[in-house]
Amino acid sequence: MWGRVLDRAGIGEPEVRRGYTAQRRAVRRFAPAEYMAARLLLPAPLQPDVVVLVAFMHETDDRIDRGDRQAREEALQHWHMLVDEALTTGGSSHPVLQALAWTSVATPRCVSA
How far apart are alpha carbons 26 and 6 in whole angstroms? 16
Between helix 47-64 and helix 32-41 the angle, nearest 10°, is 160
pLDDT above 70 coverage of the chain, percent = 94
pLDDT for 55-91, tens place per residue?
999 999 998 888 899 999 999 999 999 999 999 999 9
87, 101 contact by CB (below 8 A): yes
Residue 107: pLDDT band with limits 50, 70, 90: low
What is the DSSP code (8-state) at residue 10?
T
Its CATH class, for the domain covering 2-110, is mainly alpha
Tally Cβ neighbours within 10 Å of residue 9: 20
